[in-house]
Amino acid sequence: GNTGHDTVTLEGQDGTKITNLKDGNVAAGSKDAVNGGQLHQVKQDLGDQITNTKNDLINTGLKFDANVGGVQTNKLGSTVTIQGEGTAADADYSGENLKTFIKQDAATGNTTIDVKMNKNLKAESVKVGKNGKDGVSITGPDTANGTDGKVAVTDKNGKEAVSISGKDGVGHIG
């Protein structure tokens, strides 16, 4: 065996198990041995802390706000849907008149994204009235610049009541 007093050697064919070991002092600078129960408790406490931290982060999530609806919190990993009510074909939509602006408050980290509409709208046509009736429609050229457009006022049944076409049509009023 070892002649020094700073080593303990236990000999057994398949190793030696120490049982009935008193809880050692688990602290900075401690030189006590620890037992299986103490290690299990550390494992349990660490697992609980990881689970609690994960749940806290998920539930804190990201906060969204809008002009209507108030602040909503989305959990991390959830989906935010931004939608409109348009039902026309995708090709009938354009983002030409809209622009987004983003700014962030350096002190709070809060971010604002503004969606702004052009003051001078550009469109191929404009229709005003309920369900295409009792309204005014303005239709632009179907092809290239310089092609004449049309302005029409419809009656309560959706039929044209007044129509003004371009250069080769009805002519100019005024």
DSSP annotation string for 31-60: -----HHHHHHHHHHHHHHHHHHHHHHHHH
* Residue given tokens 């709070």 in the structure block: 108
Classify each residue of 111-147 as buried b or exposed e, where b means 16 or more C-beta atoms within 10 Å of its C-beta.
eeeeeeeeeeeeeeeeeeeeeeeebebbeeeeeeeee
Q: Whole-model pTM above 0.85?
A: no
Does residue 2 carry a pLDDT above 50? yes
Residue 102 CA to residue 20 CA, distance in Å, equals: 65
Q: What is the pLDDT of residues 138-148, one digit of tens each?
A: 666 554 455 56
Residue of 93, 69, 97 lying closest to 81 (CA atoms): 69
- Residue 148 pLDDT: 63
Does residue 169 carry a pLDDT above 90? no
- Residue 77 pLDDT: 86
Q: What is the pLDDT of residues 64-111, one digit of tens each?
A: 998 888 999 999 888 988 888 888 898 989 999 999 999 999 998 889
pLDDT range class, residue 36, cuts 50, 70, 90: very high
Arithmetic mean of pLDDT, 36-60: 95
